[in-house]
């Protein structure tokens, strides 16, 4: 049986998960951006979609 | 001025957040803002966030009312939000309605962060459909952003939006019905068990579902506040990751559902549809009522005819794929006054939540000036075995003024299909029995046989 999270506030349970996810994402986005920069050096960049450009 | 002297009760669904509450006065819904929320409300208005969100039609606009109608000691302000024609719940939405609601929530969050604010909750009940699109309705969900903190509503957002969408995406099943059981969202541990093995190999699913499920299972609850520090970049990355996870999710639109090719493939001829449309247009031409409910709307062919007159149309069908198709159709088109939802008239949404009052039943919300029910009655009587007398009472409860209803006789090809494998059905099922039962609640204003068929279209007026 799993522990029932009755006395835990809605945020704190997810804080640790977010720390881990954010760590992984930081690495991923770093390499993605690096790759995009290398790519854009060789390929002329297409215009960004601006429909969701907030 | 509201002019309601006595203390007013808060709306039964508006009790969780101490920042304020919704109340009804003189037939309108107002929102009281409590003193404890004053700073955040002022920041929402002064930071320019309210202006940007309402201009982009992402947040419901409101006007401030200078009146403490509730005589409440906590009172800071009262606002009058733009009134919605119909309140719907996530378990009545189709896949793309839930998906768009999720994307709107993330967009609202992203814009809020840019204005120094954040969403303090991430439930799907903060979204309603208005003018054909999802809009954020909880004006009190914004709070000042502390960059050192992760997003407090992350888990709730996942449980209310991402997880049901993933289950639907991977299994191609109507998983949104689960949300009427899991009112606060489907937990990560449950989702992890429901998703297929292959979903583990998708990074976003692994991060948001499996990792979250295993971390929250191992992480024992403590009374110590979370101390770890976060950053704005990390939060924006998290939002981006959620957007990337949700964007590619799909349900097959080509999949054959019960109805979704009804008009394309049916043995009923184009001629029948033309004749029916002619009579239908004639019947509705001098009805100018407010809200119209098209029950059994199918692909919305007749909902769109009704919508030509600028009425508010609520189009419901039990087939979620039909509803999804209609929603996408409306989204890409110019008609904005049709709101499609998944409702099974023989098993409509019940009253749910605290005291059975938090989420209203469909019957409590559905009463409409005009109700149209085309090619539907044979399904209710012959497939679902509901006697005509009960069908008549149900429509009487739904209708305020007019009911336009098509009677499909037992000799009709479609009726024959429905009783082909049945030992018996509720008899008599005939135009005479129909008229007799409906006459208890309605008088017949118009009646026309659709040429080339034995089907009859009635325009009834509520007594």
Residue B280 has pLDDT above 80, yes or no: yes
Give, in order, the Cα–Cα distances in Å from B297 to each of B301, B316, B394, B462: 8, 6, 17, 21
pLDDT digit string, tens, across residues B209-259? 999 998 877 766 555 555 567 899 999 999 999 999 999 999 876 545 555
The answer to whether B49 contacts chain A (CB < 8 Å) is: no
pLDDT digit string, tens, across residues B391-434? 999 999 999 999 999 999 999 999 999 999 888 899 999 999 99
CB contact under 8 A, B221 and A7: yes
Q: Give B173→chain A minimum CA distance, Å.
A: 27
DSSP assignment of B255-284 equals S--SSTTHHHH-SS-HHHHHHHHHHHHHHH
Give, in order, the Cα–Cα distances in Å from B451 to each of B274, B448, B454, B455, B457: 10, 9, 8, 8, 11
> Nearest CB to B150: which of A2, A15, A52?
A15
User: Which fold is adopted by the domain B262-462?
Assistant: Rossmann fold (3.40.50)
**Could you tell me what percentage of chain A is helix, strand and coil, using 3-state DSSP and rounding each to the nearest 5?**
55, 0, 45
Q: Please state, as a whole number, how many other Cβ atoms lie within 10 Å of the Cβ of residue B301.
A: 17
Torsion B436-B441-B445-B451 (CA) sign: negative
Torsion B44-B45-B47-B48 (CA) sign: positive
Residue carrying structure tokens 């009190």: B140
CA distance B205 to B162: 9
pLDDT of residue A46: 55
Q: Please state, as a whole number, how many other Cβ atoms lie within 10 Å of the Cβ of residue A38.
A: 10
CB contact under 8 A, B219 and A16: yes
> Nearest CB to B150: which of A19, A25, A26?
A19
pLDDT of residue B202: 94
CB contact under 8 A, B152 and A11: yes
**Which of A17, A23, A31, A32 to probe the B interface (max B CBs under 10 A)?**
A17
The residue extents of the domains of chain B are: 90-218+227-246, 262-462
> Nearest CB to A12: which of B111, B217, B226?
B226
The answer to whether B7 contacts chain A (CB < 8 Å) is: no
CA distance B320 to B113: 34
The answer to whether B244 contacts chain A (CB < 8 Å) is: no
pLDDT digit string, tens, across residues B2-29? 554 445 678 888 888 889 999 988 889 9
Residue B186 has pLDDT above 90, yes or no: yes
Residue carrying structure tokens 């039943």: B361
Q: Crossing angle, helix B388-398 and helix B431-438, to 10 degrees?
A: 50
Q: Give B145→chain A minimum CA distance, Å.
A: 14
CB contact under 8 A, B154 and A17: yes
Q: Give A50→chain B minimum CA distance, Å.
A: 13
């Amino acid at each position: 049986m799993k522990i029932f999270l009755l006395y835990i506030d809605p945020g704190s349970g997810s804080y640790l998960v977010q720390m881990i996810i954010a760590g992984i994402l930081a690495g991923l986005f770093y390499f993605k951006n690096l790759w995009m920069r290398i790519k854009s050096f060789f390929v002329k960049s297409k215009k960004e979609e601006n429909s969701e450009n907030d | 001025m509201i002019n309601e002297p006595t203390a007013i009760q808060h709306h039964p669904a508006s009790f969780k957040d101490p920042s304020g509450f919704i109340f009804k006065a003189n037939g309108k819904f107002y929102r009281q803002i409590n003193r404890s929320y004053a700073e955040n409300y002022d920041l929402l208005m002064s930071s320019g966030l309210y202006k940007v969100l309402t201009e982009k039609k992402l947040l419901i606009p409101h006007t401030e009312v200078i009146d403490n109608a509730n005589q409440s000691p906590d009172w800071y302000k009262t606002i009058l939000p733009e009134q919605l024609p119909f309140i719907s719940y996530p378990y009545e939405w189709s896949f793309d309605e839930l998906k768009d609601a999720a994307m709107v929530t993330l967009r609202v969050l992203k814009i809020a962060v840019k204005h120094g604010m954040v969403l303090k909750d991430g439930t799907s009940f903060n979204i309603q459909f208005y003018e054909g699109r999802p809009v954020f309705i909880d004006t009190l969900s914004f709070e000042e952003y502390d960059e050192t903190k992760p997003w407090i509503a992350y888990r709730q957002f996942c449980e209310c939006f991402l997880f049901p969408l993933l289950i639907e995406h991977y299994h191609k099943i109507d998983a949104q019905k689960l949300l009427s059981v899991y009112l606060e969202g489907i937990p990560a541990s449950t989702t992890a068990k429901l998703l297929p093995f292959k979903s583990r190999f998708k990074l976003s699913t692994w991060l948001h579902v499996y990792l979250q499920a295993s971390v929250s299972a191992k992480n024992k609850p403590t009374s110590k506040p979370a101390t770890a520090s976060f950053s704005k970049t990390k939060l924006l990355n998290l939002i981006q990751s959620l957007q990337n996870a949700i964007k590619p999710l799909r349900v097959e639109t080509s999949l054959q559902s019960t109805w979704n090719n009804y008009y394309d493939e049916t043995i009923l001829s184009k001629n029948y549809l033309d004749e029916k449309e002619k009579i239908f247009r004639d019947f509705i031409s001098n009805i100018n009522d407010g809200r119209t409910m098209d029950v059994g709307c199918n692909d919305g062919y007749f909902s769109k005819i009704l919508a030509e007159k600028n009425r508010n149309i609520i189009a419901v069908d039990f087939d979620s794929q039909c509803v999804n198709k209609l929603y996408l159709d409306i989204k890409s088109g110019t008609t904005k006054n049709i709101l499609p939802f998944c409702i099974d008239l023989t098993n409509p949404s019940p009253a749910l939540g605290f005291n059975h009052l938090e989420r209203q039943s469909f019957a409590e919300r559905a009463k409409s000036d005009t109700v149209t029910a085309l090619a539907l009655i044979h399904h209710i009587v012959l497939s679902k075995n509901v006697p005509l007398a009960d069908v008549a009472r149900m429509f009487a409860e739904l209708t305020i003024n007019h009911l336009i209803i098509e009677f499909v006789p037992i000799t009709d090809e479609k009726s024959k299909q429905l009783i082909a494998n049945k030992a018996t059905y509720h008899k008599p099922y005939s135009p005479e029995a129909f008229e007799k039962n409906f006459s208890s609640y309605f008088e017949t204003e118009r009646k026309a046989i659709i040429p080339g068929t034995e089907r009859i279209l009635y325009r009834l007026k509520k007594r």
